[in-house]
């Protein structure tokens, strides 16, 4: 069942979204060579606290931290620890914020120092695929329109969409209906209505789509151990343009993107 949010609920979710965005930005700035992933987790948790928000992920189905931190071939759900980041790594940061029983959720993949041109292109394409999906999040369209927009952009650029994990509705539940796959056919699935809040979150692999879960029972990695990127915004469907509730105060194309590179 899809819950449409009231105006007061949306106002609280905007606060959650701002906490998420500021936590992502602060963690991204700290994602430098030699930083440990647990240090990023502490930064993220303290930014949430400064917004009066609790970490939605901590204890969710037993997850032990505030932030999912996934490096290189790790797709999502990595557990923070003493692993130091290295020049050329990419680090996916995914964080949820809860205020008054409502949630916000967002993710961003940052580069650590300078990364290869190939890896930067994966980040550019994945970020752009998120915006291609968001552009479809309009009243009267369907979930499948979002899914198809993400998939077709990604595959046109030569990458693979992870099938085992999908985006989701959000509100009082961290994960609510509807599911928002990053693959699918246009004109299918639930029809979008004002007040729907969804998380669109392409998880995109440089190589093949296959993933597996490590022995820690959380960390999802690519089967071929090639790198993977993840970008997520929480979006509200409105009467007009989609509202990005986790908008980050960092410039788009912050990886030195040019259109020519993306379309190569």
Task: Name the residue nearer to Mg ion (CB basis): 104 or 184.
Answer: 104
Least separation in angstroms between CB 76 and Mg ion:
9
What does the alpha-carbon distance between residue 101 and residue 17 come to, in Å, rounded to a whole number? 14
Least separation in angstroms between CB 105 and Mg ion:
4
Least separation in angstroms between CB 258 and Mg ion:
29
How far is it between the farthest Cα atoms of the chain? Answer: 48
Task: Name the residue nearer to Mg ion (CB basis): 105 or 145.
Answer: 105
Tokens in use for 83? 């692993």
Of the residues 199, 221, 229, 237, which one makes contact with Mg ion according to CB under 5 A: 199
Name the segment binding Mg ion (CB under 5 A); options: 75-83, 85-93, 97-105, 120-128: 97-105
Name the segment binding Mg ion (CB under 5 A); options: 102-110, 189-197, 235-243, 255-263: 102-110
Name the segment binding Mg ion (CB under 5 A); options: 55-63, 123-131, 192-200, 213-221: 192-200
What does the alpha-carbon distance between residue 50 and residue 262 come to, in Å, rounded to a whole number? 37
Count of residues that bind Mg ion according to CB under 5 A: 2
Least separation in angstroms between CB 129 and Mg ion:
15
Site map for Mg ion, 148-187, x if CB under 5 A? ----------------------------------------
Instruction: For 21-37, give one letter per residue: b (16+ CB within 10 A) or e.
Output: bbbbbbbbebbeeebeb
What does the alpha-carbon distance between residue 146 and residue 79 come to, in Å, rounded to a whole number? 29
What does the alpha-carbon distance between residue 88 and residue 113 come to, in Å, rounded to a whole number? 6
Containing 153, the helix (H) or strand (E) segment is helix 143-156
Task: Name the residue nearer to Mg ion (CB basis): 105 or 243.
Answer: 105
Establish if 9 lies at the interface with Mg ion (CB under 5 A). no
Task: Name the residue nearer to Mg ion (CB basis): 199 or 235.
Answer: 199
Tokens in use for 193? 């209505």
Positive or negative, the CA dihedral 31, 36, 39, 40 is positive
What does the alpha-carbon distance between residue 49 and residue 13 come to, in Å, rounded to a whole number? 16
Task: Name the residue nearer to Mg ion (CB basis): 90 or 166.
Answer: 166
What are the φ/ψ torsions at residue 253 (nearest 5 degrees)?
A: 70, 25
Of the residues 45, 105, 145, 176, which one makes contact with Mg ion according to CB under 5 A: 105
Nearest Cα neighbor of 102 from 15, 193, 198, 195 is 15
- Enumerate binding residues for Mg ion (CB under 5 A): 105, 199
């Amino acid at each position: 069942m899809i819950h449409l949010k009231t105006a007061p609920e949306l106002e609280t979710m905007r606060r959650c979204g701002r906490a998420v965005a500021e936590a992502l930005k602060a963690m991204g700035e700290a994602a430098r060579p030699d930083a440990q992933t647990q240090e990023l987790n502490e930064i993220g948790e303290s930014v949430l606290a400064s917004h009066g928000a609790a970490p939605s992920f901590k204890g969710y189905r037993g997850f032990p931290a505030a932030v999912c931190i996934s490096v290189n071939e790790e797709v999502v759900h990595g557990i923070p620890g003493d692993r130091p980041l290295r020049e050329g790594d990419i680090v996916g940061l995914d964080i949820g914020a809860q205020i008054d029983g409502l949630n916000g959720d967002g993710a961003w993949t940052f580069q650590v120092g300078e990364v290869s041109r190939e890896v930067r292109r994966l980040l550019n394409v994945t970020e752009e695929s998120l915006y291609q999906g968001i552009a479809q999040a309009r009243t009267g369209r369907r979930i499948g329109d979002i899914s198809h927009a993400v998939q077709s952009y990604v595959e046109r650029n030569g990458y693979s969409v992870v099938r085992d994990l999908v985006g989701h509705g959000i509100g009082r539940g961290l994960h609510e209906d509807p599911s928002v796959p990053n693959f699918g056919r246009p004109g299918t699935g639930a029809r979008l209505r004002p007040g729907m809040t969804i998380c669109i979150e392409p998880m995109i692999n440089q190589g093949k789509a296959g993933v597996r879960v490590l022995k820690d029972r959380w960390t999802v990695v690519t089967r071929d151990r090639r790198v993977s990127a993840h970008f997520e915004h929480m979006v509200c469907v409105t009467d007009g343009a989609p509202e990005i509730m986790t908008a980050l105060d960092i410039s788009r194309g912050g990886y030195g993107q040019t259109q020519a590179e993306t379309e190569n």
